[in-house]
Structure 1
């Protein structure tokens, strides 16, 4: 693996948001799907996240950004289902990390392609 490709370990703030999402889901018995719960467990445990999963995270946040306008989004005492789901995917920190990580992966891949191209010509 190229040294420019970042490691796939989510940062602590992403893990904390996912853990909070799991706690709120357990407490209020709503929010997120089984896929979201599985994602939250991986993020909470700071497991290495595959490139495919990083892309899924970017896609999730893109599709669900309207959830942030819902009533009780961000309310820990009476959270909206969308807020809980958002946290399961790492919250705002997860969104930022996934988008930056996807860009870094693509940049590293393009640089590797250019190196192979220049070496072969």
Structure 2
């Protein structure tokens, strides 16, 4: 089964991905600020271990967000240099499907991180 994506739809998708990655960056920054408040407090050692664990996860999430944003920009640039209709089928066509799969994984992992973080904040602090 083939699905054809017109250049205008592709531009909209790219812009949507960029916006979502920026929103993740902002949320990660807010989570890091909340952790910093806990780190500056007098908290039990177990809580501090969890704070360090989440600091590491948030740092990595930010790195992945930066990589995704860069790759999305590079893909957008390649499309603007050579605008074309992208055809999707069962095999990868261009880098669109790869980028789309990476974005889906990025979204899934961030949702899991956010749920874990919120659980920690509600139960441990």
TM over 0.5: no
| Structure richer in strand, relative to its length | 2
TM-score range, shorter chain: 0.3 to 0.5
| Structure richer in helix, relative to its length | 2
